[in-house]
Chain A
Amino acid sequence: MPVDRTPGTRRIWLPAILLGIFALVAIARLVQIQVVEHGHYSTVADKELIDKTTVYARRGAIVDRNGNVLAISVDTWDIYVNASVWQDASKAGPASEALGKLLSMDPAAIRTSVTSATQKDPDIVQVLVKRDVPYAIGTAIIHEDLDGVVPVADHERDHPEGDLAASLLGLTGIDNSGLAGIEYQYNAILQGTPGKSIFERDTVGDPIPFGQSVAVPPKPGQDLVLTIDRNIQQMAEQRLHDAIVEHRAKGGQLIVADPNTGQILALASEPGLKYSTLDFNDPATTRLLQNSAVSNLYEPGSEFKLVTASAAIDAGAVTPNTTYYDPGYVDIGGTIIHNWEDEALGEQTMLGVLQNSLNSGAVFMAQQLGEEKFYNYVKAFGFGQPTGIDLPGEAVGHYRTPSDPGFSPVDFATQSFGQSITVTPLQMIQAVSAIVNGGKLIAPHIVKATIDANGVEHSVEPKVAGNPISPETSATMRMMMHYDLESPGYRSEGDPKYYLAGGKSSTANVPVSNGGYNDLTQIASFVEFAPLNDPKVLVLVTLDENQDLETGSIAAGPVAAKFIDDVLRYMNVAPDRADYPPYDQG
């Protein structure tokens, strides 16, 4: 049956054409979005859907050689406020009231700080209200679910021992990175590796359960076991401070080391960093970030005669009983070098040179040794090079050698008794350790071991950098240093009461810019080891610019002697005697 088709009218075709055009536009737009610009819109969608957060690793702890905690990271919260949310006064009011109560802060002050931060920077999203809020308070803030308040997890470095060893430990910044000391030197080990969390989020930013996610857990930092003993460190800091006050010194260092292993048992320096009075607005604080025991250079003075004597005896140039005539001075090509206080003692042995600290005798030993051998020994003892101590900012010191421009025989002569040469206190510790430990030059170090996340301890072995002298020379030097402290009819102020020891004092004038020396500024120091036959500790006491102008023997000697007595008793080392021997028995 034929179907009658009504011919289309304008009423039908016009809407059909319009609808068709609309459909074509819609299809074209869909093709543009889903095909042509697929990549762009996919990225935009990912940005909306996918959230990334960095999960910071917990910083490793620092403990002393016996496992006592010196620095540890504690979980805290940084409290931020979402400025746009707090633009609504009905939300800001109650939230700031509750927040102020929890943080013990004035609610109005919190609101003002948020408002002023927004006025300063209109683009700011979150305003920091308080950093390092205790963990329990932060958790309470989370449970309160306050409008616009955003707690962000953080860590705070805690020092249970207070200011003890602060100069050594250093400090961390607000980003938990080390800025000074051990914290800086071992930052890579302590900091660990941050983790990453990538996840699909919902409209309020919470992770969608079982949504697409990638999680790389953070790798916590390793713990550090120091060679420091906290009790010896405290003793060292206290004794150094007392000595500085007593002798009105500008500062000083007291270093205690095990001469056989290079382990530093205590390292006290003053002025030094103190957490309790840290003020970064004070420019002097920046200077305190350097450890003077590592970075301060000074002319060692008479203590350097130990190096000259060791070299001369080891090379066979002299023996302890070799004699020379001391006229009280020595003439080096027309330059007259005097002894301390111009004393002239006539015929003297090499032992007498050390006991009386004769400059002329040190020059005699160096001349017997010869320039080339002298400088070879000085280099072999580690002077002019970094010791390799695991602390930042180590100075190397310098001295002029025959190959340097401007060198003169006077340099050679004065260097033999510790002038015209600059060293660090740690270089002296390293060199004297080699003199008393059998001749091994061992790099001083602060870290004894690291402990990884699995609790496995990795020990740091001592590094022997060379053998500048023989064990026989070392044994001879130990005896000479002992006789420098006590001999028939003589006892030094640096002689310990209960232990047989060996040592040497020094009183070095501080050089001034015109090339001379100022008699009114000096560095008084004393280096000492004990027990005599099996050295367990080496102590260096240095007092910078003591105003009372007492010599190293009088100012630093008793500090070293008392310290040796106390520290060896603490270390359960049996005493050699019950009291000082009478003078006439030696």
Chain B
Amino acid sequence: MAAIRGPIPGARTRARVAAHAPAAARGRVAHPFGSINWWVLGGIIIVGLSALLPVIQSSMVTSEGFSMQRSQEQVANLNGQISILESEIGQMTSIGRIEQRAQEIGLQPPLADPTFIHVNVPGPAPAKIPASYLPAPATTQEHPQSWWQSLFDWLPLPH
């Protein structure tokens, strides 16, 4: 390895500049970003953020759009399922289905003519829900008497 002989290039120059610098500057520590213009940097950041904003906005819009499409698909799916369920309810409550179920549980159409029974006793009173389960009756508030009506009542005037 070759040894460096003589002074390091530029070292004398820097020492000379330091000797001519003001005393305050000679006492300050050299900062790596000392020469940055903060106004310019701020401007660059604002311009950068402004440029990023439409990208972020566009990304959000796209994601919202897909989310809306998914929701619309779900709505369509649910509507389709509702229509199928309605149809199934119709099938399950149809006369044919009721007849089939009746046969399954052993019911048969009556073979003989019906017998009508006339009962000359009034039927039971209709069942009522206990009052405790009913909503409280709305209290009717009477209109308060105005002061001048009270005054008329108080005065011994002929009615």
Q: Which residues of A contact B93 (CB under 8 A)?
A: 68-69, 160
Report the Cα distance A575→B117, complex, angstroms: 10
Give the shortest distance, in Å, between B81 (CB) and chain A (any CB).
7
Give the shortest distance, in Å, between B52 (CB) and chain A (any CB).
19
Inter-chain contact count A-B, CB under 8 Å? 69
**Interface pair A72/B66, CB less than 8 Å apart:** no
Within 8 A of A (CB), among B84-115: 84, 86-87, 89-91, 93-96, 113-115
**Interface pair A161/B96, CB less than 8 Å apart:** yes
Looking at B23-31, B57-65, B149-157, the stretch in contact with chain A turns out to be B57-65
Q: Mark A167-183, 1 if CB is under 8 A from B, else 0.
A: 00000000000000000
Tell me whether B71 is interfacial, beta carbon within 8 Å.
Answer: no
**Interface pair A231/B95, CB less than 8 Å apart:** yes
Tell me whether A230 is interfacial, beta carbon within 8 Å.
Answer: yes
**Interface pair A160/B91, CB less than 8 Å apart:** yes
Report the Cα distance A532→B20, complex, angstroms: 134
Give the shortest distance, in Å, between A150 (CB) and chain B (any CB).
16
Residue of B nearest to A61 (CB): B86
Q: Which residues of B contact A135 (CB under 8 A)?
A: 80-81, 83-84
Q: Which residues of A contact B66 (CB under 8 A)?
A: 209
Q: Residue among A68, A158, A160, A569 with the most chain B CB within 10 A?
A: A160
Q: Interface size of B by Cβ–Cβ distance < 8 Å?
A: 27
**Interface pair A69/B79, CB less than 8 Å apart:** no
**Interface pair A209/B64, CB less than 8 Å apart:** yes
Tell me whether B148 is interfacial, beta carbon within 8 Å.
Answer: no
**Interface pair A75/B90, CB less than 8 Å apart:** no
**Interface pair A158/B90, CB less than 8 Å apart:** yes
**Interface pair A75/B95, CB less than 8 Å apart:** no
Give the shortest distance, in Å, between B79 (CB) and chain A (any CB).
7
With A209-B64, A210-B64, A497-B113 known to touch, is A162 a contact of B94 (CB < 8 Å)? yes
Binding site of B, secondary structure by majority: helix, strand, loop or mixed?
helix
Give the shortest distance, in Å, between B96 (CB) and chain A (any CB).
6
**Interface size, A (range):** 20 to 34
Within 8 A of A (CB), among B16-67: 61-62, 64-66
Give the shortest distance, in Å, between B109 (CB) and chain A (any CB).
11
Tell me whether A288 is interfacial, beta carbon within 8 Å.
Answer: no
- Among candidates A158, A230, A497, residue contacting B87 with C-beta atoms closer than 8 Å: A158
Give the shortest distance, in Å, between A53 (CB) and chain B (any CB).
13
Tell me whether A98 is interfacial, beta carbon within 8 Å.
Answer: no
Within 8 A of B (CB), among A115-144: 135-136, 139
Tell me whether A295 is interfacial, beta carbon within 8 Å.
Answer: no
Within 8 A of B (CB), among A184-211: 207-210
Report the Cα distance A210→B61, complex, angstroms: 7
Give the shortest distance, in Å, between A575 (CB) and chain B (any CB).
5
Report the Cα distance A135→B87, complex, angstroms: 12
Tell me whether A234 is interfacial, beta carbon within 8 Å.
Answer: yes
- Among candidates A58, A61, A161, A209, residue contacting B95 with C-beta atoms closer than 8 Å: A161
**Interface pair A230/B79, CB less than 8 Å apart:** no
The residues of B with any CB-CB pair to A shorter than 8 Å are: 61-62, 64-66, 68-69, 76-77, 79-81, 83-84, 86-87, 89-91, 93-96, 113-116
User: Could you show 10 A-B contacts with beta carbons less than 8 Å apart?
Assistant: A58-B79, A69-B90, A72-B86, A74-B83, A75-B79, A139-B77, A161-B94, A209-B66, A234-B95, A574-B116
Which 4 pairs show the lowest CB-CB distances between chains A and B? A209-B65, A160-B90, A69-B90, A75-B80
